[in-house]
Structure 1
Amino acid sequence: MADDLDTKIEQAMGHHDDPGAIPEAGLLGKAIDKLGLIFALSLIVSMLILINEVVLRYVFNSPTIWAHETTIFICGMVFIYGGLYCVARDQHIRVVLIYDAVSDKWRRIMNIVISVVSALASLIFAWAAWLMVQRAAFSPDGAVRLERSGSAWDPVYPGLTKIGLFLILAVISLQFLVLAYNYTKGRK
């Protein structure tokens, strides 16, 4: 009786088991899903940094020079990772007008086509991000020199953000290829 009540309460509140990455995402999808926890926790770190900054600024009149840029960097990286996370969990935006109206066979074909086209698009974006990384991470003579923000604190966050964008886009491309392969083979 108590279990039924707990189930009804969870359903009413919208609670459900987290399905994680879809089976077609393979081991890469599972790893992406697990790594998402670190990115989620970094949002809490970002919040704590901002609370610290508010207290230091308005209570002690002693603001920091690093809090603003650090939270922007953390939130930006979380946002970028969110795209990869959505791909692994099959929670990206999809126009379902046609998708939901076709048979399972045609959905599988559509999933293959969508995955291949998305992989190609992601590869193009990764190439564009690589061009940004070349300017943001290397000096003209080839030495590693990360782009800096130019602020009083001057962290290397702009260079790290561009590297992160490139890496995540490359992994998104790979994840779409894994999905296309597994949809082709009918694997789950």
Structure 2
Amino acid sequence: MEPNETPEREKDPGAIAEAGMLGRWIDRGGLLFAIGIVASMLILINEVLLRYVFNAPTIWAHETTIFLCGAAFLYGGLYCTARDRHIRVVLIYDTLPPPLRRVLDVVISLICMVASTFFAYASWLMVQKAAFRPDGSFRLERSGSAWDPVFPGLIKVFLLVVMTVMAVQFLILAYNYARGRK
């Protein structure tokens, strides 16, 4: 092995081939949310220093870090779907021959698509209350704190987007598994 060469087991595989172009986009988007986690850490370090060293706490740090971490957590499900890295019990799956595994991959992807669609619908019901006034005008739900950001409304809209994209990603996976496409 060359000095600058990464061992095969340490290479980042990225999105699986069956995830298609959408999976590759989702995989690339993961970097943004990883940066958000690091930003959360830096914000909290800043808050600890300001609060306990300078006795000058902020009103925005905690809500911002909760929002950034919550958004990263939501995106994480989509990210794992594109990379086929979600938790699964493979006791039976691993004992099956490849053609039967492919059938199970299609069935599991379709079931997950239906579940994601139901969650997208449920999140749409939340967005209707969090983003629209009774007269139909647009106004995002706010936190009600002293700072009062629109993070609660934004996270609900983001959940709707993630669940919708996840349903589409599962449909793409089912289609490509059924075709046997790599």
TM-score (norm 1): 0.93
Secondary structure at the counterpart of residue 33 of structure 1: helix
Give the Cα–Cα distance (whole angstroms) in 2 for the partners of residues 42 and 108 of structure 1.
36
1:76 aligns with 2:70: yes
Instruction: Map residues 107-146 of structure 1 onto 2, 5 A cutoff.
Output: 107-146=101-140
Identity of aligned residues (%): 62
Deviations 1:106-154 (A, max 9, x none): 0000000000000000000000000000000000111001001011111
Give the Cα–Cα distance (whole angstroms) in 2 for the partners of residues 93 and 111 of structure 1.
14
Give the Cα–Cα distance (whole angstroms) in 1 for the partners of residues 10 and 124 of structure 2.
39
2:33 maps to which residue?
A: 39
* 2:80 aligns with one of 71, 76, 86: 86
Deviations 1:59-89 (A, max 9, x none): 1100000000000000000000000000000
Deviations 1:1-51 (A, max 9, x none): xx47887xx76xx96100000000000000000000110011111111111
Give the Cα–Cα distance (whole angstroms) in 1 for the partners of residues 9 and 174 of structure 2.
31
Uncovered stretches (5+) of structure 1, i.e. residues with no partner: none
What RMSD over aligned residues (CA atoms) do the two structures have, in Å? 1.5
Give the Cα–Cα distance (whole angstroms) in 1 for the partners of residues 9 and 17 of structure 2.
22
Once superposed, which parts of structure 1, at least 4 consecutive aligned residues long, lie more than 3 Å away? 3-7
2:42 maps to which residue?
A: 48
Secondary structure at the counterpart of residue 46 of structure 2: helix
Instruction: Map residues 143-162 of structure 1 onto 2, 5 A cutoff.
Output: 143-162=137-156
1:169 maps to which residue?
A: 163
1:63 aligns with 2:54: no
Give the Cα–Cα distance (whole angstroms) in 2 for the partners of residues 56 and 15 of structure 1.
43
Uncovered stretches (5+) of structure 2, i.e. residues with no partner: none
1:28 maps to which residue?
A: 22
1:100 maps to which residue?
A: 94
TM-score (norm 2): 0.96
Give the Cα–Cα distance (whole angstroms) in 2 for the partners of residues 6 and 83 of structure 1.
33
Give the Cα–Cα distance (whole angstroms) in 2 for the partners of residues 182 and 144 of structure 1.
39
Give the Cα–Cα distance (whole angstroms) in 2 for the partners of residues 148 and 5 of structure 1.
53
